[in-house]
Every structure is written in structure tokens, then in C-alpha cells.
Structure 1
Amino acid sequence: MRDNRPLPREDAEKLRQLALAVIETEADAVTALAGRIDTAFERACTFILDCRGRVVVTGMGKSGHIGSKIAATLASTGSPAFFVHPGEASHGDLGMITPQDVVLALSNSGETGELLTILPLIKRLGAPLIAMTGNPSSTLAREANVHLDVGVDKEACPLGLAPTASTTVALVMGDALAVALLETRGFTAEDFALSHPGGSLGRRLLLHVGDIMHRDQAIPKVAANASLQQALIEMSEKGLGMTAVVDAEQRLIGIFTDGDLRRTLNRPLNIRDTLVSEVMTPHGATVPAEMLAAEALQIMDEKKINGFFVVDAAARLIGAFNMHDLLRAGVV
């Protein structure tokens, strides 16, 4: 086992040059792919857009790993898809494929045995077949309804054996399909969030104000005839840096915040005798519970405020939240 001493300069330089050579080889391969976005690509997109079932992606070995990722990308961007292992397909999983589906098969050689075994069955089903290979003359390419050429001049592996540039190019072609389909379908960020509710985008786009606001006894509020001292106690106990001032019907008539307190302290007032209604900000900005939390955050940024009170359609106070609540919810 090596110690932590740095490599000799010549060894370190060799490692860097090898890495740069890999990056250059794969970058060149991806650049060459641009010339193959042609009518075949358009037909592949049309098959998937017209698909009444799902896109069934299949491939062996490294192509299978790439295919699994392509299936996941398609599924999360508006084109329902799943991955089927071709070896398992010939032992029962072929029943997962229906005539309404589109099959996307990946094989660099286009001669992968497991794929060719199930090829006649796919053809018998009548499911359109899109082949993604590095060999346009291969069996898989010839038998497909559409062939997408993902061939490379050379692999980044110096032995020319390990799939490197070829898998990168296949992955990029898959991303090109997914994004082209996404745009054509009019797939939105909100649609994306619905399939990613656990991610940060899902939290930003799916959370509503009502999901994060403080309710009932946790809402800081005082009556209009409360003293400034009582308002300060309420603010301290509820910990939101503000309190609502409400009438007898719980309608919001004003707010008092930390900022109002700083401005009040510049005046010669007795906090026990002064009514909070005399120093509050009348009305104040409010939001409905149905508003997206991300929209509320944008308004807070624009207005340079740190929190909101939430009211219903009758202007009755039903909740409150501040920037810390948005942070905890992952909206910020």
C-alpha cells in the first residue's frame, strides 16, 4: 500500500496526460454525433411521440447500464419508460412488452446474442424497434424500424476494448432523444416536479404556503386594544419576529414586526401604555394558503420582508410563516 507521499513529477504528468487523452477522445466522439441528428432521429422521436404504451429500453452489459439510465431519463421527462434485461426477457420478462410499446435496443456491435434471441418475438408483437448501435450494417440495425448510429472511431481505452467513448456517445444520444421529446410534449418544470417530489425542485414547485405555515395557537396575534408590551411578549413567545393585529372577527388589520419595533424605540413611548394599534403597520402584506411557497419567497425577496401572514378569502388570519420555515422546508 502506497504512503501519502506525492508521485514523482514524471509519473504525475503521465497520469494527467492519460486523463486528458480520454477526455479529448470522448469529446471528439460526442462532437461527431451532431452530424447524425438526421431523419432517423426524427423518425425515432415520432415513434415515441405516437407510442400509446411505454418505451421499453433493453441492452446487455455496459449498454444495459446506459440503457437503464436512458429509461430513467425518459420516464422523468414525460416519456413513460422502463428497462428490461434482455437475458431475463427470454425467460419470461418479454411478457412486459406489448404491441403498444416502442422498444429501444442498445448494442455497440449490433450483434449481441441476447438481443438477437428476442428480436423475432419483438417483431411478432409488432412493437416498433429503435436500434442504437455503432454498426449500421449489423443485424440489429438492419431489422430495426429506425437505426440511430452511435459509432465511434475509437474507444478512450488504449487497448480499444473497454466501452468508454461508445457508451458516452450512446448516453448523449439518449439525452438528445429525451430532451427533444420533452420540448415537443411541452413538458414543464411543474410536470418534472410531480415525478421528483423528494428532490429540491419538487419541494420548490409542489409545496404550498399552507403546507409550511404555523397554525392555530402557534400564530402570533394580539387584539387591536393590546398594549405594545403585550405584543412584544407575543412576538417573543411565538418566535417569528412579528405579530398580527386582529379585530374581533380575526380579520387582519395590521402587523407589528421587529422592524416596527426598531422604529418605535426611536420615539419616547411607554410600552405599557401605548397600544400596538398606534405603532403597527396597517394591513400589511398577506398571501393565501394556496399560493406556492416558491412564489411567496419571490414576493418576500421583492418586498425585502422576512415573513408573511396567511389569510382566507374573508381576510381572516389562518397562518403565519417566515424565512426560517422556507429554509427548513427546502424551498430556499
Structure 2
Amino acid sequence: MTVTPKPQNTPEPASEKDLEVARRVLAIEADALSDLAKSLNGDFCKAIDLIESLAGRLVVTGMGKSGHIAKKIAATFASTGTPSFFVHPAEASHGDLGMIGKNDAVLALSNSGETPELSDIIAYTRRFNVPLIGMTRRPESSLAAQCDYPLILPNSPEACPNRQAPTTSTTAMLAFADALAVTLMERRGFSADDFRTFHPGGKLGQRLLRVSDVMHDVADIPLIGENALMSEALVIMTGKSFGCVGVLDDTGVMSGIVTDGDLRRHMADNLVAMRVGDVMTPNPKATKSDVLAVEALAIMNDRSITALFVVDDAGKPVGLVHIHDLLRLGVA
């Protein structure tokens, strides 16, 4: 018996009507964030003071879609200088309450403020005097009433057609927590170096490397005096394999550089018998050890060079950055 497959409906291509739906969603959520910004008050400041003064960690919890947002919030705090982790409220009721210490604080997320799975965590914080921050849309809810620090979201409509699927509310939760985390970063003076400490892997960590992290030490780089002969400079260039040699004046300050291009320009001039100072390109571009490696890369790209000397404040060389090292580390 041959079974004839049922014809499948072919959806119509997306159109301007679909774009209008997308724009409406974004407009609703943008309006909610604008309302949220206007609603910030002293409760926000109190929450900031609490989190900044914690001797322990910020424990973030939530159920359902709020739980997914809570996981991201905990990750954001942890990567920006506030020790933080997520606890699932159902797991908390089965032993994970022991993860919450006396020096910790809890940030509980619930759009309605009546999430039953949060009841055990709320009761635990009340019993053991653990500070509780509640983020909810309803100021009259149980969560808002029980917490020490209520963070009230604007009563904005969800962006879905039936106003039920968590969309606007979860966006507002995420943005509210971002505001907390970034405010704390600025209060603490959280720097790019601090950020790289928590992000050593991946592209972000690579792009936050400093020149001092990637440069070759002064003992390993090619250097020579202005009055030396080019025959000696050629030996150093060949031995160090950077394609150049830095030139020093009598005080040890870097006054020039000899590159492959300089060699080609003087090939017909009895090159090996010439003084280095007569062949070098004076006042070469250099960088400092404390700048970002990507800034050094930008200089190299702008000058179409493959090596860049690193100097101290007095102009004396302390290292060298090579394009191959930047490529190997993923900076380039």
C-alpha cells in the first residue's frame, strides 16, 4: 500500500507586517525601560550600599523565566567584582539552603511577587537575618512585603499579544540588575585589569591584554649603539630574528631603528662598513608597557610594521612587541 504524504503548508515570507510586530515589541520594552529609569529612588541606593558592604556573596534566585534571568544576573555580578551565584529555589528546599551563609544576601526575582517556590528561601532569610532584596512588579506582593530592600519594576504590559508571556518583565529585571552591577563597578573603580582577571579566556580576555603581557623582555631584543658598524648590526638582526634592530644614543635612549627597508636602501653604499647612525631611521614609533596590546596593534597596522619597541618614560627600551605574538595570542 502506497501512502501519499500530506502536502505541507509553505509559510509566507516575512513581510512589513512582521516588521511592525517586531517594532511594536521593541517599543513596548523600550518604554518599560524608560519608566524604570524614572522610577529609581532611594531603595536602589540602599540595595547598592548593601551589596557593596557584603562580607559574603550575593545569592540570586528565581523560578521559571525569572530563574533564567537570575542565572545571567549572578554571572554578571560575579564577573564585575561582586561574588555571586545562582540557587534554584526548588533545589534550595531540598538542601541547597545550606549554600546561603550568614554574611550573604539574597536577591529574589518574581514578577508577581507570589512565586510559591520562593517561600522556603524567603522564610530562611527571615529566620537567620539574611538580607533579602526583592525584585518584583507588584509592591503589594508577599515578596515586596517580606523583603528588606524592595526593588519595584514598572507595571508595564508584556509585549506578547495576550500580555502573558514574560517579555517586558524579564527585560526590565535584566536591565535593573545591570544598573546595579555597573553602578557598583564605578563605585569600586573596577578597571579593565580587574575585568581581565575574571575573563582570562576568550576574545574578551585577549583584547584586554597589556603590552607588558605580550612583549619580549629587554634582554631578548636586538639593540645596538649609533656608532657601531652595520656589520655588527647585521649579526644582531640575524641572531634575534625580529627583522630590525633598535638604535641607542650615548645615554641609552632609543634614537632610531634599522629595518629590512633601511638595508635595501643602502645596499649599494658598502653597507657593512657604514655606521649604524647613518643607516637608521630616526625617531621610531614606540609604545609603553602599560597600554593595551590592541593599541600597540593599531600602531603597527597604521605604520605597516611587524615589530614595535616598548620604551619607559625616559625613552629607554624595555621590550619589543611582534605581530606574530599578537596573532598567536588572538589579539590580532
Q: TM-score, normalised by structure 1?
A: 0.79
Say whether the 8 Å CA contact 1:152–1:165 is kept in structure 2: no
Aligned to 1:55: 58
Say whether the 8 Å CA contact 1:245–1:255 is kept in structure 2: yes
Amino acid at match of 1:154: P
Matched, 1:13 2:16: yes
Amino acid at match of 1:194: T
State the alpha-carbon separation in 1 of the partners of residues 283 and 18 from structure 2. 66
The counterpart of 2:263, out of the listed 261, 264, 268, is 261
Amino acid at match of 1:258: D
State the alpha-carbon separation in 2 of the partners of residues 183 and 251 from structure 1. 39
State the alpha-carbon separation in 1 of the partners of residues 304 and 20 from structure 2. 53
Aligned to 1:240: 242
Aligned to 1:279: 279
The counterpart of 1:64, out of the listed 64, 67, 73, is 67
The counterpart of 2:77, out of the listed 74, 78, 83, is 74
Q: Secondary structure at the match of 1:33?
A: helix
Judge which range, 48-57 or 233-242, deviates more: 233-242
Aligned to 2:140: 137
- Residue 184 to residue 316, structure 1, CA distance change in 2 (3 Å): closer
- Residue 236 to residue 142, structure 1, CA distance change in 2 (3 Å): same
Offset of residue 40 of structure 1: 1.4
Q: Secondary structure at the match of 2:113?
A: coil
Q: Deviations over 1:290-317 (max 9, x none)?
A: 65553982895799584344689xx998
Identity %: 46
Aligned to 1:209: 212
Q: Secondary structure at the match of 1:243?
A: strand
State the alpha-carbon separation in 2 of the partners of residues 236 and 152 from structure 1. 71
Q: Would you say how many aligned residue pairs link Structure 1 and Structure 2?
A: 321
- Residue 304 to residue 98, structure 1, CA distance change in 2 (3 Å): same
Judge which range, 187-196 or 279-288, deviates more: 279-288
Offset of residue 203 of structure 1: 3.2
- Residue 21 to residue 251, structure 1, CA distance change in 2 (3 Å): closer
State the alpha-carbon separation in 2 of the partners of residues 177 and 318 from structure 1. 41
- Residue 2 to residue 100, structure 1, CA distance change in 2 (3 Å): farther
State the alpha-carbon separation in 1 of the partners of residues 17 and 304 from structure 2. 56
Unaligned runs of 5+ in 1: none
Q: Deviations over 1:31-66 (max 9, x none)?
A: 111222011111111221222111110001110111
- Alpha-carbon RMSD across the aligned residues, in angstroms, is 3.9
Offset of residue 278 of structure 1: 4.4
State the alpha-carbon separation in 2 of the partners of residues 185 and 129 from structure 1. 22
State the alpha-carbon separation in 2 of the partners of residues 194 and 129 from structure 1. 29
- Residue 97 to residue 21, structure 1, CA distance change in 2 (3 Å): same
State the alpha-carbon separation in 2 of the partners of residues 24 and 246 from structure 1. 62
Amino acid at match of 1:271: L
Amino acid at match of 1:264: H
State the alpha-carbon separation in 1 of the partners of residues 301 and 266 from structure 2. 24
State the alpha-carbon separation in 2 of the partners of residues 210 and 73 from structure 1. 26
Q: Secondary structure at the match of 2:206?
A: helix
Say whether the 8 Å CA contact 1:194–1:206 is kept in structure 2: no
- Residue 234 to residue 67, structure 1, CA distance change in 2 (3 Å): same
- Residue 134 to residue 241, structure 1, CA distance change in 2 (3 Å): same
Q: Deviations over 1:211-263 (max 9, x none)?
A: 442787x75567975545x755764675533124689xx99896412343355
Aligned to 1:157: 160
- Residue 119 to residue 16, structure 1, CA distance change in 2 (3 Å): same
Aligned to 1:329: 329
Amino acid at match of 1:322: H
State the alpha-carbon separation in 2 of the partners of residues 221 and 178 from structure 1. 47
State the alpha-carbon separation in 2 of the partners of residues 261 and 37 from structure 1. 66
State the alpha-carbon separation in 2 of the partners of residues 93 and 76 from structure 1. 23
- Residue 321 to residue 90, structure 1, CA distance change in 2 (3 Å): same
- Residue 317 to residue 298, structure 1, CA distance change in 2 (3 Å): closer
Q: Secondary structure at the match of 1:110?
A: coil
Unaligned runs of 5+ in 2: 1-5
Say whether the 8 Å CA contact 2:135–2:152 is kept in structure 1: yes
Say whether the 8 Å CA contact 1:105–1:132 is kept in structure 2: yes
State the alpha-carbon separation in 2 of the partners of residues 184 and 244 from structure 1. 43
Offset of residue 155 of structure 1: 1.0
- Residue 296 to residue 167, structure 1, CA distance change in 2 (3 Å): closer
State the alpha-carbon separation in 1 of the partners of residues 169 and 7 from structure 2. 33
Amino acid at match of 1:85: H
State the alpha-carbon separation in 2 of the partners of residues 183 and 79 from structure 1. 12
Say whether the 8 Å CA contact 2:193–2:208 is kept in structure 1: yes
Judge which range, 110-119 or 152-161, deviates more: 152-161
